[in-house]
Structure formats: C-alpha cells, structure tokens
Amino acid sequence: MAKNAISAATTTLALPVTMKAFQQLAVAIGPDIALCVRGRHAVGKSEGVHQAAEKIRSDFYLDPENCKRATEALKTERSVRNRLKEANVDVWHYDLGIPVVERRLSQMTEGDIIGLPFESVDKRGTKFKPVDWVNYACDFPVMLFLDERNRALPGVKQAVFQMLDSKAFYGNIFNDETRIVVAENTGGSYEVNQTDPAEVSRAATVELIPTKEEWIDYAKTRCNPALIDFIRQNPTKLEWTEEYEENKKYADRRSWFKLDKALVANNCYADPRGHLFYIIAGSMIGTEIAQEFKQFCIDYKTKVVTVEDVLTDWASAKEVLMKNAGMKVVPNDKYLSMSDKLSDFLKTNKINEMQAINLTLYMIDAPAEIRVALNTAIVKIPTNTMIVNKYARQVLLATTNIQSLDLTSLKEKLTKELETKRVQAGLSASTKEDNSKVAVESTGRGAKKS
C-alpha cells in the first residue's frame, strides 16, 4: 500500500445486496427480527432505511386518534417532520408508512440509553425513567434506527444487546410492530470497533452495495439534469472506491446531492463559468472532479442534446452529437446516455406521429441492444406502443432476428414521410425554432425537459 494511503476495501463478510434488495428485506423480514446493514460511508444506508419505512404499513395508523397521538409525541423527530412536510400533511396517517426514530449510538454514553434514576414507589429501591426514544418505540409502531453501532462505546453496544433479541430494555417492552435496524460502517478506512460474534448473531446482517443505476434513478427527480448526465457519462466519478489519501477530499454519493443543493441555492448552474461554481464544487467533490464538472456544465449549456431535440429532429440532433464528439459517428456512450433519458421520458409522456418517426430513425441508427431497451419503455404507455409500432415494429423485428429488413431503405422512406408531415404541419425542415413547436402531451406528471 502506498505511503499515507488508507485502504477503502470492504472487510465485512456479510451478504452483499443492492438498495432495492435491502429495502425488500427490511419490509419482508418482519418486526421480530432485527436487521443490521453495513456499508461504506455515504452509500445510502440511512436513506435506504427511511425509504423502507415508507413502504411498511401498520393497522395502528388506521385509527385517527392513534395518528394524532403519534404525531404529537414524535413531532420533534426531524425525520417525522420531513415526512409530513413532503406529504404536505399535518398529521401522520396510514399511507405514510411507519415513522423513523433515529439515534446515533456513537454520540451516546450508557446514561443516554438507561435514562435517569428515581426512587421507586415503595421507596425500597431505584428505577430508571426511560429516555424519549425508548418510550416512542414502546408506545408506537416505529422503525427504530440505531446508526454507527461500531463507533459506539463498549457500554453502549452492550446496552443494545437486549433490544436486538428481545425488543425490550430495562423492563420497557417495545411495541409489537416496532422494527429495529442498526447500521455500521465497514472497511479499513474508519476508526471503528470490532463487532463480536454475539452482536452479529442477534440480527440479520447484510452489506449495502447499491448500483450506480440506482443512484441515478433516485437522483434524476431531485438533481439538475447536467449533474445527472455528468454521472451517466462518467460513472466512476460518482464515488471513490480505491485507496484513500489522507486528508484529501473525495466525491461520494452523498456529496453530489449536497453539491447540487448548494449550486441550485446560489443559481450557479446559470453561470458555471463563475468562480463560485468551482469553489462550491471543489469543497464538496474535490478539486480534480470539480474542474471536470465545471467544464462539463459550461459545455452542457451550449452542446447538450435534449430528448425534445431527438424527438423533434433526430437528423439535426445527430449532427450535434457527432460534432461534440469530434467523430463521424455518434459514440456508443452518447447513445447510452440519450437512451436512458428517452426511456425516462417515454414512461411518462405520450408522443405524436412526427416524434414517433424521429424516434424510429434514432432506433435505426442506435445499437441493437438500445432498441430493445427503448421498446421496454415504450410499452409502459399503450398510446406510445401503438403509434411507435406503426413505424418501428419492423425495426424491432429485425433487431430480434424475427424478420430480415433493409434498414437503409426504411430510413429513406421514413425521412421522406417525416418531411411530408412537416410540410403539411407548416413546419420548416431546417429551422429548429419552428420544429420546437411540436407539442409534447403529458400523461399526468408533466413533460420535463431532459
């Protein structure tokens, strides 16, 4: 190992799972079995727990009075406030899932778990008044999330033992539907304590290794399109997984979200040439990637090809993609990036005949595997299936070797038909400004420029 470098390798032997699989397990495993999730920092352990809690349903919250009591008791919990704000409601209800009560064990001492002593009623001994979050776990069905267990003091880790296998602590019995999840950081990069076999045996244990595609799917509705496209085209920049140089700033999944929030708050995407853009980016994802991302955003404003460009005039969009790449063909990575955006768009938006023809011309030029993937997105909306199949069915049959076809002849035929439809619609074949008049019909969520 290089001098002053720290290994980022994972040392856990737990079952590796994706984010989707982890959430499925957290929902399916039931409240009687504790769950331990391990993983490197910023991979989404906390977010995965919160998303899983949203999918769990408890009949307790079908009763409006129970919902009022729970809301009043848990209103100081940040996760509960955020969930209510997202749902735009004032009181918890059944469809919100179960509340998350989160505590970091690394910040606690034994007294923070046991509570305060008081004299018993018969004055023959001492009892302990439980801390608030223990009361919450007893009174309501919640997801009790205990983070950073392997950074906790030994006494705190011992105190958690009974919670994990008995759902009880110091005589306080947890609600039957309360679920317990503990989280640990793994790898040689962290100052953590060894987890002994007795701790491991008390919980179902997995290591969270989410895919890059899962991050993109989650982020594309929350982050600026330029940031999403940068990660799509540079997936290795999402997070650093090699050796860490001491005191050096690296990008991770969490830092990209924070960066996007800061750039949006300061309107930096509007002027990526500004020095503030680089200062913010460099402080959050490191100087090397910050410079690359800054240049990408500068180019993005002038060179980007959108979904609307492809569906309005694929021939012109293709010329821009080739010019940007400095090649006489569109590189495969550009097809992949654009096809991801097209798939997202087609799942939620209807297209018209001219857009269907442009999509078919795109599919003819694209690699075969991309045609198949796009067809999967097209069938999500029956209207798209009918209109696209009118033009693209032969292309798909040829792709799957069901039917032989001269794609060059089909391309010439469709190009002429597209020109005819443009003339009929009063559109110029060469003016992009006129072409942009082609409307995009939304199926409910609204067309969003990609």
For 91, residues 6+ apart whose C-beta sits below 8 A from its C-beta are 64, 67, 68, 71, 84
Say if residues 36 and 204 touch (Cβ distance below 8 Å). yes
Mean pLDDT is lowest, of 80-84, 135-139, 242-246, 346-350, for 242-246
**Which of 19-33, 163-177, 236-250, 306-320: highest mean pLDDT?**
19-33
Please enumerate, as own/partner, the contacts of 297-301 that have beta carbons within 8 Å and a separation of 24 or more: 297/226, 297/230, 297/269, 297/272, 298/272, 298/273, 299/324, 300/226, 300/229, 300/272, 301/272
SS3 at position 194: coil
Mean pLDDT is lowest, of 110-114, 142-146, 170-174, 255-259, for 110-114
* The predicted structure's pLDDT at residue 51: 96
- Tell me the H-state helices in 75-129: 78-87, 111-114
Tokens 């999918």 correspond to 55
Question: What H or E segment, with its residue span, contains residue 101?
Answer: strand 100-104
CA 112, CA 318: separation in Å to the nearest integer?
Answer: 62
pTM: 0.72
Q: Which tokens in the block code for residue 182?
A: 């503990």
CA 357, CA 390: separation in Å to the nearest integer?
Answer: 9
**Using 50, 70 and 90 to split pLDDT, how confident is the model at 197?**
low
Percentage above 70 pLDDT, the chain: 88
Mean pLDDT is lowest, of 157-161, 176-180, 287-291, for 157-161
CA 205, CA 181: separation in Å to the nearest integer?
Answer: 10
CA 434, CA 421: separation in Å to the nearest integer?
Answer: 13
- pLDDT above 90 (res 179): yes
Question: What H or E segment, with its residue span, contains residue 52?
Answer: helix 45-55
